[in-house]
Amino acid sequence: MGCGGSKVVVVTYNLFWWCVSDEYKTCSQFKGNKGFQELFHTIHQNAGPMDLVGFQECDDVTRVLVGSNLTHFDYFAPGGDAPLAWRAERFQRLGDGGSVQVAQDKYGARMVNFVRLMDKVSKEVIFFANTHGPLGQCALPDGGEVAANYLKVINDFKKPDDRVVFTGDFNCASSDPPLQELGKVLQSSATDFSFGGADHILTGPEVKTCASETQQGFPSDHQILKLTVSVNEHQVDNDVAAPPAASVTPAAPAPAAAAAPAPTPEGATGAEVKDSEGCPKAGESSPCCVACASPFYCPDNKGCYMQGASGCPGALCPLKGPIHT
C-alpha cells in the first residue's frame, strides 16, 4: 500500500512547436504569439508540480521555462528538439551530459539526450534521458535497431547504481517492437493516448512507479504525461507530493479564451476523417501543409492534425484541393 521513499515527479510533453509558433504560417489560430501564451498557461496549470521534464518539439527551452514561470529549473539542450530540464534546488548535475544519434528520418537526425543528476534528497543518482523518436520506424527490422540504439546509449553512459528515467515522444505505441524491446530491460511506467500512445516514460527496475496521470496539453496536439516514482523506497518520504492515485485523470478544459480540443476518451483512436461543415470545398486551399506530419484540417478548432490523432472535437477534413506546403 502506498509508495514510500524519495519521490520524484517526471513529465514528458511534446510542444507542437512548428504549429504553436505559427512558424510556417499554417496555424493562423496561434499567430501573434497567441500559441505561446496558451502553451505557457498550459504548462503552468497542468504540468506542475514536477521535478524532471523532457520536452520534444522544443526549439527554445529557455523561452519555455521563462514563459511558464519555471526559472528555478536548470536544463540541458545540446541541439535537436528534445531538451531536458530539472528543478535546480533538488538536483545537481554530474558531468556534462551527452547527445547521441539513434536514428535518421526525413526530418533529420533523431537523438537521445541525457544527463546524470544527483538527487539532493535521497543522494541517489538519476540517469535522465529524453528523445523524440523517428517517424515510420516502429516495425521490424527498423524498430529493433532503434530499440537497440536506445539501450546502447543507456548502457554506455549510465553508472552501475544509477536510477534510469527515460522520457520521450517515441513515435511508436507500446505494442510496437521498439517499446516491446525496451520493455525487456526497462519498465514501461506511463503512456498517454496521443497518436495511439506515442509518449512514454520508462524507468529502470530499481525505480518504483507510484502513480501516473495525463493532462490536457492544448495548444499542443499531445497530452501532458506525468509520473511519480520512488528512487529509494526504503527512505523516509520527502515533501514532493504525488499526483492523484488514479492512473488517468480526466483532461482539464482549455482556457476559456481558446477553442480547446476535447480530450479523447480512453480507448478512442482519434478523430475520423469526413467532409463536414467548415471543410475546404473542392479546389479551395486547405490551411494545413501537405509536406508535414499533420496535414488534416480540423474546422472545429482550426488546427492541423495527423490522421487518427486526438484533439479535434469533430471530424478531420479529407485531403483535397490545393494544400499549402
181-209 pLDDT, tens digit per residue, is 999 999 999 999 999 999 999 999 999 99
pLDDT beyond 50 at 60 = yes
Residue 309 confidence class, pLDDT cut points 50, 70, 90? low
Half-sphere exposure of 243 (CA within 13 A, CB side): 28
pTM of the model: 0.74
Q: Report pLDDT for 18.
A: 96
CA gap 96, 270 in Å, rounded? 40
pLDDT beyond 80 at 148 = yes
pLDDT beyond 60 at 311 = no
Range from 43-57, 189-203, 280-294 carrying the lowest mean pLDDT: 280-294
pLDDT beyond 80 at 233 = no
Q: Specify the pairing of strand 125-132 against strand 163-169.
A: parallel
- Residues with Cβ within 8 Å of 239's Cβ and at least 6 positions away in sequence, in order, are none
Q: Determine the average pLDDT of the residues in 213-234.
A: 93
Average pLDDT, the chain: 85
CA gap 83, 124 in Å, rounded? 22
Q: Report pLDDT for 169.
A: 98
CA gap 261, 220 in Å, rounded? 10
Closest CA to 55 of 76, 81, 78: 81
Residue 269 confidence class, pLDDT cut points 50, 70, 90? very low
Which grid cell sits at 46? 497542468
pLDDT > 70 in the chain, percent: 79
Range from 50-64, 229-243, 291-305 carrying the lowest mean pLDDT: 229-243
303 vs 212, higher pLDDT: 212
pLDDT tens-digit series, residues 294-307: 567 777 766 666 66
Residue 70 confidence class, pLDDT cut points 50, 70, 90? very high
pLDDT beyond 90 at 92 = yes
CA gap 324, 27 in Å, rounded? 11
